[in-house]
Chain A
Amino acid sequence: MGVVFALVLVMVGVSAALALVRLLRGPTTLDRIVALDVIVVLTVVAAGVYVAYYRDGSNIPLLAAVALVGFVGSTAAARLAVRRERHR
């Protein structure tokens, strides 16, 4: 079981690294918003793997909170990006 968790965490880590590359490269603000949202989701996923490994439910409110904040952040950023993009 430990091997499975290690493999899952490695895959999630590589995914986050790839999303981070997209976050840094852009090219538009909207690409960065999409990449950032994926990184937030991967944070939730990694916390879920932690919960599964230790069988410890006390961190589950964290998952809900991060998912909520990620949604509000991406939504607000997408609304604001329209105005920013017009400057380009």
Chain B
Amino acid sequence: MNPVAAGPVADVVSAFLMLLGALSCLLGAIGLMRLPDLPARLQAATKPQTLGLSLILLGTALRVELASAVTLVLVVLFQVITAPVISQLVGRAAYRSGALPDDALVVDELAEHLPADALVGDESDRDDRDDRD
């Protein structure tokens, strides 16, 4: 049951990491609350998802034994891999369903690569919507 790092220095480093992580969680949540549209909120949500979680779990890893610390690092790694997947899926869903405001995108490179019937506000899309209603 020996912790990875013991002593006052390890405690201070761990406390510093956890405070920094909690602060980035808070900043991300404030951004999620206050930013105006979905892409901006997605960007704010990445702060708790990766930075906040990794800092806090690294702070935790310093205080537990080595086997547990390795698992914590794996959890951080898993989160760092999966957070972009969720962001990408949500952003794509927002684009395809027309949930983005028209002026949200400065550059729209995806439109050039999509077939015409997949475009937002497209005629066939509207027909599709009428059919479903």
Contact = CB atoms under 8 A, between A and B. Distances in A.
Does more than half of chain B's interface fall in helix, strand or loop, or is it mixed? helix
B45 A37 contact: yes
Interface of B: 3, 11, 14-15, 18-19, 21-23, 25-26, 28-30, 32-33, 38, 41-42, 45, 48-49, 52-53, 56-57, 59-60, 63-65, 67-68, 71-72, 74-75, 78-79, 82, 85-86, 89-90, 93-94, 96-99, 125, 128-129, 132-133
B38 A30 contact: yes
Contact of B97 (A14, A57, A82): A82
- Which of A48, A49, A86, A87 has its CB near the most chain B CB atoms (within 10 A)? A48
Given A71-B82, A85-B97, A87-B129, A21 B90 contact: no
- Chain A interface size band reads 35 or more
Contacts of B94: 28, 30
A45 B75 CA distance: 11
- Which of A15, A63, A86, A87 has its CB near the most chain B CB atoms (within 10 A)? A15
Contacts of B79: 41, 44, 67
A14 B29 contact: yes
Nearest to A16: B29
B104 to A, nearest CB: 12
Interface string A76-88: 0011011001110
